[in-house]
Amino acid sequence: MSSEEKRSWIYAVVGAGVATVYFVTVLSQVPGTDVARIAYVRPMLIAIGAGIGLGIVASIAAAIASPREAGRTDERDRQIHRLGEYVGFYVMSIAAIAPLALAMAEAAHFWIANTLYLAFVLATVAASITKIVLYRRGF
């Protein structure tokens, strides 16, 4: 497994895992509560920071575990990365319609912020999964 494929696995697992913990924690407060009273900003910032930090630490750990492969890329890796990022861009572009619509409908900031965070998570996971599929099935 190349270092780039390992990094894609890391980002898929970390992105989905951290977002799941965040959404379970915050959205479990929604039933029976006015969303304007839910403190979501700090947990969201912690989730974003944890996602970035865990991704960096896990990538460094993977590079230390297999130093020969670390940083070595070829044309195939670059093409897979580019295609994965294109998929992530399109997912983000489509998913960003929901928070935009919520803002136009003057929904609560809670819903706008959480749908925007979800859009970022979906884009990251979609890009990572696309890369993994391309590595596994060939490009």
pLDDT per position as a tens digit, 88-108: 999 999 999 999 999 999 999
pLDDT at 33: 86
Q: Is residue 133 helix, strand or coil?
A: helix
Question: Contact, 8 vs 132, CB < 8 A?
Answer: yes
User: What is the model's pLDDT at position 89?
Assistant: 97
Residue ranges covered by each domain of the chain:
3-137
- Amino acid found at 96: A
Using the structure block, give the residue that is written with the tokens 């044309």: 75
pLDDT at 1: 76
Spans in the chain with pLDDT lower than 50: none
Which pLDDT value is given to residue 32? 84
- What helix, strand, coil percent values describe the chain, rounded to 5? 80, 0, 20
CA–CA dist 74, 38 (Å, integer): 47
What pLDDT was estimated at residue 71?
Answer: 67
pLDDT the model gives residue 42: 96
* pTM across the whole model: 0.88
> What's CA 64's distance to the chain center, in Å?
23
Q: H helices within 66-108, ranges in order?
A: 75-95, 97-104
